[in-house]
Structure 1
Amino acid sequence: MNKFEDIIAQLPYTEPFLFVNEIEWVNEEEINGSYRFPKDSYFYKGHFKEHPVTPGVILTECATQIGVVCLGIFLISKEETPFEKEKFQIALTSTAMDFFLPVYPGEKVRVHAKKMYLRFNKLKCEVKMYNEAEKLICKGEIAGMMNLKP
């Protein structure tokens, strides 16, 4: 398993609420990852009648999982204390997202996040999500508190 697959394996999510397929690259300041929304995802059944669109809250979750949680796992794993999945906790603390384009069933998105700060276990990132044509879908700021249980 490479370091990118290892980060994804450490995520505290499973299907149908896992919104990370791949991490393309990561460093101490930024991360790039992607996800393809399956055409049969549960949330398309009612959003919207006969014209399914990915809900904004799901796009925000995808951006959070890639841009804050994956980056947070990477940053914590670089610390001296060994990373243990069962001890990792993260809680979303704030989001401010602007949406520009819809995401339809089957579409692949790419998330780029840049660390704004990591202080007192709070990670805040600027995130941008693009479609396969490299058009901006949404952007904003997302923050979460990270903690390792004793």
Structure 2
Amino acid sequence: MTSKEIISLLPYEQPFLFVDSLSAISEEGTTGHYTFKNNEYFYKGHFKNNPVTPGVILTECMAQIGLVCLGIYLMKDMISENFQPQIALTSSQVDFFLPVFPNEKVMVISEKEVFRFNKLKCKIKMFNSNEELVCRGRISGMIKTSNT
């Protein structure tokens, strides 16, 4: 399964798709990128005259690249026209260190910790274009395996 196929299976679309590309994916984790465009809807009010990417959006970007893309890859043998995987976030714990500004490109790296009983848990880190740690944490989700 290619990275373009994985991205096409994501259950998101603009303006809530935070994956531009995947540069690595394996049974053990993913590496992907996203550039926060200066016209993103959330910059209009966060913060007045000094736009900063909200932490909840950074967490969502980490979850989409590091958890959902990996979950789709891990279930690639089950995916068909009749079955599209659905992944729901169950928990997140993220520590933030640096802000992300408009037009900034980030890299997300995830490492699978556990995948059993349809639950995926990953350690995920986000870096800015200077390779500085922006945030890191653990994110978990449940994968729906039936089409009912």
1:134 paired with 2:131, answer yes
Say which SS state the counterpart of residue 68 (structure 1) adopts.
helix
Query: Given residue 59 of structure 1, which amino acid in structure 2 is its aligned partner?
Result: L
Match of 1:115 among 96, 112, 117: 112
Who is 1:143 aligned against? 140
Report the Cα offset of residue 85 of structure 1.
Answer: 7.7
Who is 2:94 aligned against? 97
Say which SS state the counterpart of residue 104 (structure 1) adopts.
coil
Gap regions ≥5 residues in structure 1: none
Say which SS state the counterpart of residue 62 (structure 1) adopts.
helix
**Alpha-carbon distance in structure 1 between the residues aligned to 2:93 and 2:25:** 23
Query: Given residue 97 of structure 1, which amino acid in structure 2 is its aligned partner?
Result: V
Gap regions ≥5 residues in structure 2: none
Report the Cα offset of residue 90 of structure 1.
Answer: 1.0
1:9 paired with 2:8, answer yes
Who is 2:31 aligned against? 32
**Alpha-carbon distance in structure 2 between the residues aligned to 1:116 and 1:30:** 9
**Alpha-carbon distance in structure 1 between the residues aligned to 2:63 and 2:82:** 18
**Alpha-carbon distance in structure 2 between the residues aligned to 1:8 and 1:139:** 22
Report the Cα offset of residue 147 of structure 1.
Answer: 1.2
**Alpha-carbon distance in structure 1 between the residues aligned to 2:129 and 2:82:** 32
**Alpha-carbon distance in structure 2 between the residues aligned to 1:106 and 1:117:** 34
Identity %: 54
Report the Cα offset of residue 87 of structure 1.
Answer: 3.1
After TM superposition, the structure 1 = structure 2 runs for residues 51-66 of structure 1, keeping only pairs within 5 Å, are 51-66=50-65
- Asked whether the 8 Å contact 1:33–1:111 carries over to 2, the reply is yes
Report the Cα offset of residue 24 of structure 1.
Answer: 0.2
Query: Given residue 24 of structure 2, which amino acid in structure 1 is its aligned partner?
Result: W
Who is 1:74 aligned against? 73
User: Aligned pair count?
Assistant: 147
**Alpha-carbon distance in structure 2 between the residues aligned to 1:85 and 1:118:** 23
Cα-to-partner distance string for 1:126-145 (whole Å, 9 max, x where unaligned): 00000000000000000000
Tell me the TM-score normalized by structure 2.
0.95
